[in-house]
A and B are shown apart, each in its own frame.
Chain A
Amino acid sequence: MPLPYYVSPEQMMKDKAEYARKGIARGRSIVTLEYRDGILLVAENPSTLLHKISEIYDRIAFAGVGKYNEFENLRIAGIRHADVKGYSYSRGDVTAKALANAYSQALGNIFTQDIKPFEVEVLVAEVGDENGARNEIYHILYDGTIEDERNYAAMGGQADEIRRVLKDHYSDGLALDAALQLGVRALTVTQNKTLSERDLEVAVLDRTKVRRKFRRIPMEALGQLLGTAR
């Protein structure tokens, strides 16, 4: 019986991380910004049917980059977690923190135990109440690493460059159109083309809405919001 090759744990983790990072780098990026009335999520996504951004619960949104089937699985798992929790306790007890922790655990377990790691990064955002509670943005990496971000976040292939643009130009209390324009500008930083409303998927967690804060911004409205800058 042939003996299995010995591979050191360091090497194995490094290989897996590299594999996952390559997969993620192939995909398009997503940015998130806090704006005056909530949280804005902008994805480069030419498909109008396959979403990268979606609603999880009243105040919570989800965004994923990388392999579609993998983050779609995570998205549905998140909705299930939130709906059962909200039904058995109360709607107010469903938090982004618990959800982000579950994602972190799940991705961490997959990364260490499965042969193939998930090639995804996900983002969980929760909009604060109007009484000044602060927004929460959690960014979870393919290996379960979890970070909580302030003001803005970026993930996907060119996240570092995008983050640099956001860092230089972000300011507190942006209006929706200004935040959207900044987000789109950040997304195009590594490309020499401009993004029109057809290439974008945009949604907000709007704290002025009652109960369900998640709202997709339809293409016509998107054109108007982008157009004000030109």
Chain B
Amino acid sequence: MTGPSDWQNLFNDYGNSSFMELLRREAPHLMPGAPPPAQEAPPEPPHGTTVLSVRYRDGVIMAGDRQATAGYQVAGRRIEKIFKADELSGVGIAGVAGPATEMAKLFQTELEHYEKVEGDNLSLEGKANRLSQMIRMNLPAAMQGLVVVPIFAGFDEKAGIGRLFKYDVTGGRYEETNYDAQGSGSKDARDSLKKLWRRDMTREEALRVTLEALIDAADEDVGTGGPDLVRGIFPSVKTITRSGFQDVPDDEVRRVCEAILADRTRNAAD
């Protein structure tokens, strides 16, 4: 006669509804933060460069350029840095592209798993905390150079507003009220946003401000890709509002980018 819980070994029994705990037991090699074997300096892996998030009247905008940079080389021109985490939140990744993308995928599954098991969504605060723990787990890898620092933004249903969070490499979590940027071009993007951001912007205004900041970052930072008119590659921009996570269509982004570039051409001093 075997034990009463023998059948459960087919699935395994876990005490709580966390996908991360489940994965740690079930497939630890898929967790972020497994230390890389580093004897000699490896070639530099591709980095995602600039992502940013801006609060406006209806919620938040998240945007990122499309370039991945390895050292002085362009590693990718079309990578996606803004991921939908769930219906009401998104995560923008900066840092080493591989682990960052993997962390975004794990985070998505973590939120969906919780939602399905509990039949309810995590609060925005809870989601932000969960991401912070994930970044902390990546600390050993970060010490060896594989730094992942995302930004997280979402619509808080209880408060009825958009909120955004920034992180540091140790998992520290800080809420920003108006805007934030992360990645190699983040300082330039933030400088730009500092001058342009206004309270209660409409979607159109916020989109313009967002793209101005990204174009500024691309202007000043060699790692950040600007709008690529030749190939037709434009920054990816998403809005998160009460009605969910939505892509801003490429056509609209192109139109605003072209308007910004036309204005700059007209006013260019030299």
A interface residue numbers (CB < 8 A to B) = 51, 54-56, 73, 76-81, 83-84, 86-88, 102, 105-107, 109-110, 113-115
A87 in contact with B109 given A56-B116, A79-B116, A114-B4 (CB within 8 Å): yes
Contacts of A56 in B (CB 8 A): 116
Q: Which of B120-172 contact A (CB under 8 A)?
A: none
CB distance from B173 to the nearest CB of A (A): 24
A77 in contact with B22 given A83-B109, A114-B4 (CB within 8 Å): no
Starting from the known contacts A77-B12, A83-B116, 8 additional A-B residue pairs (CB-CB under 8 Å) come to A77-B10, A83-B113, A86-B109, A87-B30, A107-B7, A109-B10, A110-B7, A114-B7
- CA of A152 to CA of B55, assembled, Å: 48
With CB as the reference atom, state the residue of chain B lying closest to A83: B113
Q: Describe A's contact surface by its main secondary structure.
A: helix
Contacts of A81 in B (CB 8 A): 11
Determine if B6 is an interface residue (Cβ-Cβ < 8 Å).
Answer: yes
A–B pairs, 15, beta carbons within 8 Å: A73-B8, A76-B17, A77-B8, A78-B11, A79-B117, A80-B22, A83-B109, A83-B112, A84-B22, A88-B27, A110-B7, A113-B2, A113-B6, A114-B7, A115-B4
Contact count A vs B, C-beta below 8 Å: 61
Residues 7-19 of B, flagged 1 when their CB comes within 8 A of A and 0 if not, give 1101110100101
- CA of A114 to CA of B7, assembled, Å: 9
Whether the Cβ atoms of B23 and A84 lie closer than 8 Å is yes
Whether the Cβ atoms of B117 and A84 lie closer than 8 Å is no
With CB as the reference atom, state the residue of chain A lying closest to B87: A212
Q: Describe B's contact surface by its main secondary structure.
A: helix
Determine if B119 is an interface residue (Cβ-Cβ < 8 Å).
Answer: yes
CB distance from A65 to the nearest CB of B (A): 18
Contacts of B57 in A (CB 8 A): none
Contacts of B22 in A (CB 8 A): 80, 83-84
Determine if B269 is an interface residue (Cβ-Cβ < 8 Å).
Answer: no
Determine if B105 is an interface residue (Cβ-Cβ < 8 Å).
Answer: yes
Contacts of B1 in A (CB 8 A): 113
| A105 touches which of B10, B23, B27 (Cβ 8 Å) | B10
Contacts of A51 in B (CB 8 A): 119
CB distance from A16 to the nearest CB of B (A): 14
Determine if B26 is an interface residue (Cβ-Cβ < 8 Å).
Answer: yes
User: 5 closest Cβ contacts across the A-B interface?
Assistant: A77-B11, A109-B7, A106-B7, A110-B7, A106-B10
